Amino acid sequence: MYDEMDLRHEFVQFLNENGKLKETANLPNLADDQLIDMYEWMVKMRLFDEKMLRMQRQGRIGTYAPFSGQEAAQIGSAYALREKDWIFPSYREMAASIVHGYPMEQAILYMKGHLQGGHTPEGLNIFPVQIIIAAQILHAAGCAMATKLKGEDDVSVAYFGDGATSQGDFHEALNIAAVNKAPAIFFCQNNHWAISVPLHMQTASQTIAQKAVAYGMKGVQVDGNDVLAVYKVMEEALVRARNGEGPTLIEAVTYRQGPHTTADDPTKYRDKKEVQDWIENNDPLSRFFVYLEEKGLMTEARHEELKEQFNTEIEEAVSHAEAFEPSTTDQAFDYVYDTPHKLLARQKQEVQRLLAAKGGN
């Protein structure tokens, strides 16, 4: 049991910044092949992120929100999920979504603005990307309540940044989920910056995790660049949710290495030395590599082989996505309602007439 009046939260960390295992570490029960698999996901998603950033600069996709630096937070948490658990992502959770089963090709279509890109494959429990800050947190709370009413043991996970905790939706979602002991996990990636607003201007509380106290739920702060600690904290939160003990607020302390989006210039508000320090001394991939190397599970040579393999895989996904015919304006009407009504059909016909007259799409 946790003390509802205790605002202090242990900072859960198993691997320090140098990749060394702490003596007090209570490691998750993961086999060697699972450890390697998590590292491979981290490498693949770093390469994917870098590729998407280049593609945006080349005009091949639209505005993009990079996640480099946050791989441990996303992959460590998503790796702990069951297939039928629900993910409610913001615009920066492509890594978590892909680990949970979202095809890379589909993700690229979404970033190209293709209507098919917003269609979640059948049987995959991932809600569409939410652009409105914090709105997905309410959706996760509602889904978790529905799951409980139906007697299912699936857990709903909302991903969001530190900036979202200033929105009313965040507080409303936590409140209703806690009151109803809904099987939900509110996963905050505290990357220190809400666009150009630093954390100390976002909240006066010492931690984001302690906000859970006000709603009567468990709050945990974890080193978001330590994939093992993230996995363990997430695993424990999932058990609590499935056992009917209610929701958990997890604050994963991490860092956004790049811009907020490709429309942002972080050099206008961030100190270059701060960024460089996080990249050189606190990178989640480097830290996990050291740990695996000392266990005899990874080498520099194998790392380079993985990069070559994954770059090929990513290029294939890009090629498939770019082979799709571009969406046309009139097709947008097919994605509004499951069963189109007469007014919508007339509007679609009008757009088609206009397109035919202009000879465009």
DSSP string for residues in 262-282: TT--GGGTS-HHHHHHHHHH-
In this structure, are residues 163 and 194 in contact, taking their beta carbons and an 8 Å threshold? Answer: yes
List CB contacts of 341: < 8 A, sequence separation 6 or more.
Answer: none
**Is the same domain home to 243 and 305?**
yes
**What is the end-to-end Cα distance of the chain in Å, rounded?**
60
Q: Crossing angle, helix 32-57 and helix 71-78, to 10 degrees?
A: 130
Task: Give residue 342's domain range.
Answer: 328-361
Residue in 291, 359, 276, 319 with CA at minimum distance from that of residue 112: 319
**Is the same domain home to 118 and 97?**
yes
Residue in 42, 43, 66 with CA at minimum distance from that of residue 230: 42
231, 260, 287, 291: the catalytic one is 260
2, 82, 269, 353: the catalytic one is 269
In eight-state DSSP terms, residue 72 is: H
Give the per-residue pLDDT at 137: 98
**Is the same domain home to 239 and 346?**
no
**Is the same domain home to 96 and 39?**
yes
In this structure, are residues 185 and 156 in contact, taking their beta carbons and an 8 Å threshold? Answer: yes
Question: Domain count of the chain?
Answer: 2
List CB contacts of 110: < 8 A, sequence separation 6 or more.
Answer: 117, 118, 129
In this structure, are residues 330 and 351 in contact, taking their beta carbons and an 8 Å threshold? Answer: yes
User: Would you call 256 a catalytic residue per the annotation?
Assistant: yes
**Is the same domain home to 119 and 26?**
yes
Residue-by-residue pLDDT tens, the chain, 361 positions = 445 555 666 789 999 999 999 987 889 999 999 999 999 999 999 999 999 999 999 999 999 999 999 999 999 999 999 999 999 999 999 999 999 999 999 999 999 999 888 888 999 999 999 999 999 999 999 999 999 999 999 999 999 999 999 999 999 999 999 999 999 999 999 999 999 999 999 999 999 999 999 999 999 999 999 999 999 999 999 999 999 999 999 999 999 999 999 999 999 999 999 999 999 999 999 999 999 999 999 999 999 999 999 999 999 999 999 999 988 888 888 888 888 889 999 999 999 999 888 876 6
**Is the same domain home to 304 and 263?**
yes
Strand spans (E) along the chain: 11-12, 86-88, 156-161, 184-190, 193-194, 197-198, 218-223, 248-253
Statement: the pTM of the whole predicted model exceeds 0.85:
yes
User: Would you call 82 a catalytic residue per the annotation?
Assistant: no
**Is the same domain home to 274 and 335?**
no
**Is the same domain home to 350 and 270?**
no
User: Would you call 192 a catalytic residue per the annotation?
Assistant: no
**Is the same domain home to 359 and 235?**
no
9, 114, 256, 287: the catalytic one is 256
**Is the same domain home to 287 and 353?**
no
**Is the same domain home to 74 and 151?**
yes
